[in-house]
Chains A and B, each alone.
Chain A
Amino acid sequence: MSLPILKFDAVVVGGGGAGLRASLQLSEAGVKTVVLSKVFPTRSHTAAAQGGISASFGNSEEDNWHWHMYDTVKGADWLGDQDAIEFMCKQATDAVAELEHYGMPFDRLDNGKIYQRPFGGHMADFGKKPVRRACAVADRTGHAMLHALYQRNVKAQTHFFVEWMALDLIRDKAGDVVGVTALEMETGQVYIIHAKAVLFATGGSGRIYQASTNAFINTGDGVGMALRAGLPVEDIEFWQFHPTGLAGAGVLITEGVRGEGGYLLNANGERFMERYAPTAKDLASRDVVSRAMQVEINEGRGCGTNKDYVLLKLDHLGADVIDQRLPGIREISIQFLGIDPVKQPIPVVPTCHYMMGGIPTNYKGEVLDGVDEKIVKGFYAAGECACASVHGANRLGTNSLLDLVVFGKSAGNSVIEFVKTMSDHKELPENAGQYSLERMAKLESTTGEKVADVRFAMQVCMQQHASVFRTQKVLDDGVMKMREIYERAKNVVIEDKSTVFNTARVEALEFLNTVEVALATMVAAAARTESRGAHAREDFPDRNDEVWMKHTLYYRDGQKLEYKEVHTEPLTVDYIPPAKRVY
């Protein structure tokens, strides 16, 4: 069956912060660009980011990009590429100033400069004391960013295909990327978008876990598409967990609760953090608290009928403190769990928050294949779906929004240069689009399993076997179970076979991406026998630089793993050698 073809110079898949920054760069340079997005761009997950965006302006106290770079390298537990980290930290102030110029109304100091607040891991003078580096627009930083970028794109005449879902990458015989297939939800029609360059900015995939702070839209489509197209995914075993997500709902309960004096209890009413971190107790770092909670649950001291959560006690703080200093928490807890934290403790579990791994790129946003980092012609990626790699094994808060705009722009610039070298589009391969149609047809088989059932099995498996408590046995069992689930995923079907605005079909197609990310995570995690950043192994508690200071590459074909060097040569400054990560 031949599919309708639409031609653009560049197609950007994703209208979040990274996608919109990239498309703006392209459109302003006169590159004919279309942005595809499953939802209206300003409803992309970036809008959920409240904390802020980092840049070493030093508006309240001394700061500079060298310190920011050091913090990022250290936060990443020396798995980040130092050329990319230097690039990002150096560009940060210009990138934020640019956003301000685009109309982002940053909070200000009395002297008119951008107000900055402290954030975990951001320090002055190479780790000596906390520094105020986060710029914010009240508690709506991501939202304000999307609005500013979207408006600017409209002015620059970027084309938007909203409620379109990209299905697969199209690569030609040489392996170059020449377009994508995409589903227009409104009509159910599949198109080929033929382009000189394709840029992925599809965001994260936090929905692989049962407990996730991520909105439902974070299904890892970009990573799924790249894997199906034979490309690797990098460092996918590294997922950041937040200790206090509301049990059963996932909604993030800010660290501020513990900062105000709230603490965690197990089923025996014991304040267990005193055992794990006698000094910092409940205010120990995110990974330490998360693991302690999971150990309590695993050893049978969890609460509730299934003993699968612990309690966050804050009733002793009183209604005034809770209402005034911790806004929103009381409402969320009452509305979703029927529990008023003024009277009762809240059930919490360690909850997935951010995907450090992704599609391998360099700091120019060019996608790289293999251990020798061969550039995949015509393919670019930026934002949470990409791995540049600046976050390495652990991301610092507020560095993600920065990543979006710095690498969105940089990838846009690379596309501009690439498109200049091409007088015309490369030819589409024969039967381009056939693969996507076959995948869609398979969903309409008469027998098979329901998407919701297999998705639930995947989320439970990932939660139990690849969250914060990782041992060889737990992970090996997880690999076995995930492989079974992966086989089941091949046979999912949808009941509603209508073509027009069939949300069941879209969700099934999303799930087929999510399950790729889940299996990749489990296989990569089982192989890494060390603890580094967010990948914490009970049986290998130390970081092992001699063996493991290398990036994982996972391929779908044969579930193969390869390892490549971490970039140890920054662009202009000296290498920051590994040290113990203590705060």
Chain B
Amino acid sequence: MDYVEIEKLKWRSRRSMLELDLYFERFILGGSFSKLTEQELIDYQYLLTLDDGDLLLLFQEKEVLANVEMQKLVIKIVNANF
């Protein structure tokens, strides 16, 4: 993905709920986001299309995605550290 697409992903990581903002902020500012592979970026883009309530359930590990790679990305986001 080019620079603009990546900036777009960062902007779209702004959500309606503070909880989600905090997960994504940690992931982005902590440096994990910049290490994503091309495929992971595509998965990330998909995650951002989900409803916020559903994202929260995933991040709180109350629900799990069937797609194993995508679920790994969810766990990466949840476990990101500053």
- Min CB distance, B23 to chain A, in Å? 8
**Is there contact, CB below 8 Å, between B4 and A43?**
no
**Is there contact, CB below 8 Å, between B60 and A217?**
no
Q: Which of A400-408, A469-477, A499-507 contacts B (4 or more CB under 8 A)?
A: A499-507
In the assembled complex, the Cα of A213 lies from the Cα of B14 at a distance in Å of 15
**Is there contact, CB below 8 Å, between A45 and B7?**
no
In the assembled complex, the Cα of A252 lies from the Cα of B17 at a distance in Å of 11
**A251: contacting residue among B22, B59, B62, B78, CB under 8 A:** B22
**Is there contact, CB below 8 Å, between A143 and B14?**
no
- Min CB distance, A289 to chain B, in Å? 21
Contacts of A42 in B (CB 8 A): 16, 51
**Is there contact, CB below 8 Å, between B61 and A143?**
no
A494 within 8 Å of B (CB atoms): no
**Is there contact, CB below 8 Å, between A503 and B7?**
yes
**Is there contact, CB below 8 Å, between A216 and B21?**
yes
Mask: chain B, 19-59; 1 = CB below 8 Å from A; 0 = not: 11111010000000000000000000000000111001001
In the assembled complex, the Cα of A250 lies from the Cα of B17 at a distance in Å of 11
In the assembled complex, the Cα of A42 lies from the Cα of B53 at a distance in Å of 11
In the assembled complex, the Cα of A522 lies from the Cα of B17 at a distance in Å of 26
Contacts of A212 in B (CB 8 A): 18
Using A45-B16, A140-B53, A336-B22 as known contacts, say yes or no to A331 and B8 having CB atoms under 8 A apart.
Answer: no
A215 within 8 Å of B (CB atoms): yes
Contacts of A252 in B (CB 8 A): 18
> Which of B15, B17, B56 has the most chain A CB atoms inside 10 A of its CB?
B17
In the assembled complex, the Cα of A500 lies from the Cα of B20 at a distance in Å of 25
**Is there contact, CB below 8 Å, between B52 and A501?**
no
Mask: chain A, 426-448; 1 = CB below 8 Å from B; 0 = not: 00000000000000000000000
Main secondary structure of the interface of B (DSSP, over half): helix
Contacts of B59 in A (CB 8 A): 335
- Min CB distance, A328 to chain B, in Å? 6
**A500: contacting residue among B4, B15, B19, B53, CB under 8 A:** B4
A376 within 8 Å of B (CB atoms): no
**B8: contacting residue among A45, A213, A328, A501, CB under 8 A:** A501
**Is there contact, CB below 8 Å, between A143 and B52?**
yes
- Min CB distance, A135 to chain B, in Å? 18
Contacts of A419 in B (CB 8 A): none
- Min CB distance, B49 to chain A, in Å? 9
Residue of B nearest to A252 (CB): B18
A44 within 8 Å of B (CB atoms): yes
**Is there contact, CB below 8 Å, between B14 and A216?**
yes
**B18: contacting residue among A40, A48, A142, A185, CB under 8 A:** A48
**Is there contact, CB below 8 Å, between B52 and A249?**
no
Interface size class of A (residues with CB under 8 A): 35 or more
A326 within 8 Å of B (CB atoms): no
**Is there contact, CB below 8 Å, between B19 and A251?**
yes
Residue of A nearest to B61 (CB): A331
- Min CB distance, B77 to chain A, in Å? 10
Contacts of B7 in A (CB 8 A): 500-503
- Min CB distance, A67 to chain B, in Å? 32
Which A residues between 499 and 535 are near B, CB-CB below 8 angstroms? 500-503, 506
Contacts of A185 in B (CB 8 A): 11
**Is there contact, CB below 8 Å, between A506 and B18?**
no
> Which of B20, B52, B62 has the most chain A CB atoms inside 10 A of its CB?
B52
A47 within 8 Å of B (CB atoms): yes
In the assembled complex, the Cα of A48 lies from the Cα of B16 at a distance in Å of 6
A375 within 8 Å of B (CB atoms): no
Residue of B nearest to A506 (CB): B11
In the assembled complex, the Cα of A43 lies from the Cα of B25 at a distance in Å of 16
Using A43-B16, A503-B10 as known contacts, say yes or no to A249 and B51 having CB atoms under 8 A apart.
Answer: no
**B51: contacting residue among A143, A250, A331, CB under 8 A:** A143
**Is there contact, CB below 8 Å, between A44 and B18?**
no
Contacts of B23 in A (CB 8 A): 335
In the assembled complex, the Cα of A143 lies from the Cα of B52 at a distance in Å of 8
- Min CB distance, A460 to chain B, in Å? 18
Contacts of B19 in A (CB 8 A): 251, 332
- Min CB distance, B47 to chain A, in Å? 13
- Min CB distance, A401 to chain B, in Å? 14
Mask: chain A, 170-200; 1 = CB below 8 Å from B; 0 = not: 0000000000000001100000000000000
Mask: chain A, 45-66; 1 = CB below 8 Å from B; 0 = not: 1111000000000000000000
Other than A250-B22, A251-B19, A498-B3, give 17 A-B pairs with Cβ distance below 8 A.
A39-B11, A43-B15, A43-B16, A43-B52, A47-B16, A47-B53, A48-B16, A48-B17, A48-B18, A212-B18, A215-B20, A216-B21, A216-B25, A249-B22, A250-B18, A331-B60, A332-B60
B residues with CB within 8 A of A? 3-4, 7-8, 10-12, 14-23, 25, 51-53, 56, 59-62, 78
Q: List 7 A-B contacts (CB under 8 A).
A: A163-B11, A213-B18, A215-B21, A249-B22, A328-B60, A331-B62, A503-B11
